[in-house]
């Protein structure tokens, strides 16, 4: 199903040049017609697809979609609106950044699919590192899987310079144990937003990374 028209991309290009409340209010009907309502429909299709592999994804689009308004309280950039739209489709929706799911961002420069674990707390990070350390062969197999490498490449995340001594031997074999986050992503061209199979394509990308996401979440779920 095609959810978006070319004006989805054009709206964000125009917003980038006029990122203020007066322009946005004057174009609010256009935003609702070209961005908000189509994105809600798109996210609902993704929810329906995710439910075929995870019955726990019992959420509505409003539970998954982030607001377009930026939080400018602690930012030097005071422009009020984001230049993309995003959602987390998982059992926890946007309120839970750890449960395995599909995080999507659609914007005028690229369409992005994300997965994995982003910014776990101290105890969660320790559990993930210990899980990797104790299951190096399984982790390396997931990381070297041909489809995972083709779609996502590898895992990303900032790194610590120092690790607990009990992890050093494992980290010498697998440098990703130094990571503070363990996430993966892939991009599609912005013009693909009008593809009728976009939701299915992103869902298939999610399936490619799901085994890795489940592995990373396993020690967090136990905690």
Q: What is the CATH number of the domain that holds 107?
A: 3.30.930
- Percent of the chain's residues with pLDDT above 90: 92
* 46 in Cβ contact with 203 (< 8 Å): yes
Q: Is residue 134 in some structural domain? A: yes
Q: Is residue 206 in some structural domain? A: yes
The 3-state secondary structure of 140-185 reads HHHHHCHHHHHHCCCCECCECCCCCHHHHHHHHHCHHHHECCEEEE
Question: What value does the mean pLDDT of the chain take?
Answer: 96
Q: Is residue 42 in some structural domain? A: yes
Instruction: Give how many domains the chain has, as a whole number.
Output: 1
Residue 97 is predicted with a pLDDT of: 81
Least confident range from 44-48, 94-98, 181-185, 211-215: namely 94-98
Residue 72 is predicted with a pLDDT of: 80
Between 98 and 5, the more confident residue is: 5
Q: Is residue 136 in some structural domain? A: yes
Q: Is residue 168 in some structural domain? A: yes
pLDDT exceeds cutoff 90 at 73: no
Q: Is residue 2 in some structural domain? A: no
Residue 215 is predicted with a pLDDT of: 97
18 Cβ neighbours under 8 A, 6+ residues apart:
24
Residue 43 is predicted with a pLDDT of: 98
pLDDT exceeds cutoff 90 at 42: yes
Q: Is residue 1 in some structural domain? A: no
Residue 138 is predicted with a pLDDT of: 98
Least confident range from 53-57, 97-101, 135-139, 159-163: namely 97-101
Quote the domain boundaries for residue 17: 7-222
pLDDT exceeds cutoff 80 at 223: no
Q: C-alpha angle with apex 197: 66 to 62, nearest 5 degrees?
A: 20
Lookup: tokens for 212: 């890795």
Residue-wise pLDDT for 142-163, tens only, equals 999 999 999 999 999 999 999 9
Q: Is residue 120 in some structural domain? A: yes
Residue length, the chain? 223
Q: C-alpha angle with apex 9: 8 to 13, nearest 5 degrees?
A: 120
Residue 33 is predicted with a pLDDT of: 98
């Amino acid at each position: 199903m095609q959810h978006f028209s070319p004006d989805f991309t054009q709206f964000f290009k125009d917003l980038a040049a006029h990122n203020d409340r007066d322009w946005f209010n004057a174009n609010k009907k256009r935003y609702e017609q070209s961005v908000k309502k189509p994105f809600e429909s798109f996210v609902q299709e993704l929810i329906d697809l995710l439910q075929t592999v995870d019955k726990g994804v019992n959420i509505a689009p409003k539970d998954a979609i982030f607001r377009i308004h930026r939080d400018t309280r602690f930012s030097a950039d005071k422009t009020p609106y984001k230049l993309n739209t995003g959602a987390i489709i998982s059992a926890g929706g946007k309120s839970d950044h750890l449960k395995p799911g599909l995080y999507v961002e659609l914007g005028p420069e690229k369409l992005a699919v994300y997965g994995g674990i982003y910014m776990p707390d101290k105890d969660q990070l320790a559990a993930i590192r210990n899980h990797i350390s104790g299951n190096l062969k399984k982790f390396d197999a997931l990381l070297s899987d041909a489809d995972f490498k083709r779609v996502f490449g590898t895992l990303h995340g900032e790194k610590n310079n120092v690790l607990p001594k009990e992890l050093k031997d494992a980290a010498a074999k697998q440098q990703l144990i130094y990571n503070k986050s363990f996430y993966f992503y892939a991009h599609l061209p912005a013009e693909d937003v009008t593809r009728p199979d976009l939701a299915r394509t992103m869902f298939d990308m999610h399936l490619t990374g799901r085994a890795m996401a489940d592995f990373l979440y396993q020690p967090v779920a136990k905690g």
